[in-house]
Amino acid sequence: MLKYALPVLIAALLATAAKELFDTVKFGPEGLDLYEVREDTDAAGRRYLAVDDLSYRYTSIPSATDLVLSFNRPAPELVKDDSGHYIVRYAEFETRRGAGTLGGAGAYFFKAGHRVEIRSERNLWLGSCADAGSFTIEMRLQPASLADGAVLFSSVGYASGLKQGVEIVIKGGRVVARLHRFFRDAAGRRVDVFLNRARPIGVGQWRHYALSFDRVSGKLASLVDGEEQEVVYVSDNGEPFVNVYEPSFACEDLPVVVIGKNYYGVLDELRVSYRYIDDLKKETELAIRNHSAVGAVGRTPVNREGVVTSPVYRFPGTGTGVLLFQWDEQLTNNSHIWMEFRTNDDLFDRGSDTPRWYRIENNQRNIHLKKIDGMYLRGQYYQWRAHLVASPDGAHSPRLYGAELQYRLDPAPHPPLMLEAVKTGDAMVRLRWKKNVEHDILGYRIYYGTSPGKYDGIIVSAGGRRIDNPSGPGGNYVEIDITNALIEENMAGERRKLLSFPIIKNNVLYFFAVSAYDSYRPDTPHNHESELSKEISARPFAGSEITN
């Protein structure tokens, strides 16, 4: 991993004068964290980033195979799977050689008692109830019959009271995957996910089937001969990368793995594989079309990918919206680049899992208008991540020349104008000011106290409602009576109990100022509040008025 520590070019962000509402941030190759990425210069002298190693020969992505059954040994000799991880507690099949089998032999199932049973272990993937991470279950099959109910692979238990686990079966002439209550959402609720729409397979034909799940994006796919048949994103609203559900077996269960039950045909090269979730943050795409070497024990190959991660940058203010994100790229021979972006008003760590990443397109506009969980995708801190994916044959890399974004600040409202005390009475002061006309005004705060510039109470509501602009035509002013009842209401709503909220007494001089605030994340430190209006003073009094 290479790291650079040079500053990024950000125009006008350090100006101490009034900030512009719109600006552009241009990113060069400086200050970036490069994973399997190198910096180079093209013939025109322009600097770019490209994938460092295209060969597929080396990879720093740890991978492991959990379960392997090559079926190269006769059933009586099958006491452990080929990886040596699992104990085979029952095996009955006929060894079938040649005719499309790999590695010397396959398993031919055709009798009622034919099947393989494998004992699960808690310290292995199939016996764990922890986060299952990313996984691939794959096999080669040559069915002699397509009768419904044939079990190609099953790891399903019932100890929790409901069916839970993963099974791959034949139904309607297709290979279907049923993941019973295998995924769990953020609230802990378990859900079923079935993949039923793979293309029909023929009798007597060899097929390669794979069920693959990407823990980072939530992509669950079924594949036949390396081609995707059905894809779902197991996440909130079915969106990639958004609150991906956790895959896991139930802790109450330790089911036996069953292979070949009620199946009539040949199975070969069955395996369960996984990759570590931390490394999947760096590299996630499966090269599913390159499946020809299924006879070799190991992982499905991954597309060579480099990842560029920016620092966490800061906009001048909270609630800043990105109007445009774009990058300059050169793509050849089916190489490609895809980007992720995230933003938040709270400072976050460069390598943390939160806030969420969102996939974006080149020249994507108005990211700030995307609404997630009721909130717009805006913030003061932001980060981007680029994925440089080489061509499928590993011979060509894309080039990333640079990126930039355009943003718009969300300014605070103007201070309220023309504040005055229009009436005083018995323990009462009536305030009035000209209403603010910004489109996103949500309300006002009245600051008051008994010393100039020192405010011991803040009035934010009246009658249980925010103090806001009057409705209807002709309402150009906001008017409110400051009374002890109003002060008691606001004192009761002040949770921190830091203010004294002095009561209104006759013949005491009080000082007042008003601010306006907008609708962005109200009642949080990220809300935008104006400067205070000019300060005024007023003295309530008791007694009768003499009028003509």
Burial class (CB in 10 A: 0-12, 13-18, 19+), 184: middle
Query: What is the reported pLDDT for 368?
Result: 87
pTM above 0.75, yes or no: no
Q: 499 CB contacts (<8 Å, ≥6 apart)?
A: 456, 457, 458, 491
Average of per-residue pLDDT across 413-434: 94
Q: For residue 536, which of 413, 412, 417, 414 has the smallest C-alpha distance?
A: 417
C-alpha to C-alpha distance for 499 and 505, rounded to whole angstroms: 18
**3-class secondary structure, 431:** strand
Which two structure tokens, joined as six digits, stand for 70? 């090559």
For residue 405, pLDDT over 70 is answered with: yes
For residue 508, pLDDT over 50 is answered with: yes
Is residue 272 within 8 A of residue 298, CB to CB? The reply is no
Give me the DSSP letters along 66-108: EEEE---S-GGG-SB-TTS-SEEEEEE-EEE-STT-STT-EEE
Query: What is the reported pLDDT for 59?
Result: 37
Going along the chain from its start, the domains and CATH numbers come out as: 19-58+306-408 (2.60.120), 63-296 (2.60.120.200), 417-538 (2.60.40.10)
For residue 276, pLDDT over 50 is answered with: no
**For residues 371-390, b (16+ Cβ closer than 10 Å) or e, as one string?**
eeeeebbbbbbbbbbbbbbb
Average of per-residue pLDDT across 212-226: 86
Residue 493 dihedral angles phi and psi, to the nearest 5°: -90, -5
Look at the block and give the residue holding tokens 């590299």. 283
Mind listing the pLDDT tens digit for each residue in 77-116? 999 998 888 999 999 999 998 777 877 789 999 999 999 9
Q: For residue 250, which of 370, 146, 135, 161 has the smallest C-alpha distance?
A: 161
C-beta atoms surrounding 240 within 10 Å: 17
Give the single-character DSSP code of 166: E
Q: What is the mean pLDDT of the chain?
A: 83
Q: What separation in angstroms does the CA of 417 have from each of 7, 33, 142, 431? A: 42, 49, 82, 12
Average of per-residue pLDDT across 251-259: 91
Give the single-character DSSP code of 367: G
Which two structure tokens, joined as six digits, stand for 171? 């139904």
Query: What is the reported pLDDT for 546?
Result: 53
Which two structure tokens, joined as six digits, stand for 58? 């080396």
Is residue 275 within 8 A of residue 61, CB to CB? The reply is yes
H/E stretch holding 184 reads strand 174-184
Is residue 430 within 8 A of residue 482, CB to CB? The reply is yes
For residue 179, pLDDT over 70 is answered with: yes
Of 346 and 543, more confident: 346
Is residue 211 within 8 A of residue 168, CB to CB? The reply is yes
Mind listing the pLDDT tens digit for each residue in 38-80? 888 989 989 999 887 654 433 333 345 788 898 989 999 999 9
Provide the pLDDT confidence category of residue 132 given band limits of 50, 70 and 90. confident
Query: What is the reported pLDDT for 288?
Result: 30
Mind listing the pLDDT tens digit for each residue in 293-313? 333 333 334 456 788 899 999
Q: 313 CB contacts (<8 Å, ≥6 apart)?
A: 8, 10, 25, 381, 382, 383
**3-class secondary structure, 446:** strand
C-alpha to C-alpha distance for 446 and 460, rounded to whole angstroms: 7
C-beta atoms surrounding 31 within 10 Å: 16
Of 372 and 211, more confident: 211
What is the Cα 290 distance to its own chain's centre? 28
C-alpha to C-alpha distance for 110 and 288, rounded to whole angstroms: 30
For residue 122, pLDDT over 50 is answered with: yes
Provide the pLDDT confidence category of residue 19 given band limits of 50, 70 and 90. very low
Provide the pLDDT confidence category of residue 393 given band limits of 50, 70 and 90. low
C-alpha to C-alpha distance for 377 and 118, rounded to whole angstroms: 48
Rama region for 358: left / alpha / beta (φ>0; ψ in -120 to 50; rest): beta
Q: For residue 259, which of 335, 153, 346 has the smallest C-alpha distance?
A: 153
Provide, rounded to the nearest whole percent, the portion of the chain with pLDDT above 70.
Answer: 86
Mind listing the pLDDT tens digit for each residue in 317-365? 999 999 999 999 998 887 888 888 999 999 988 877 788 888 888 999 9
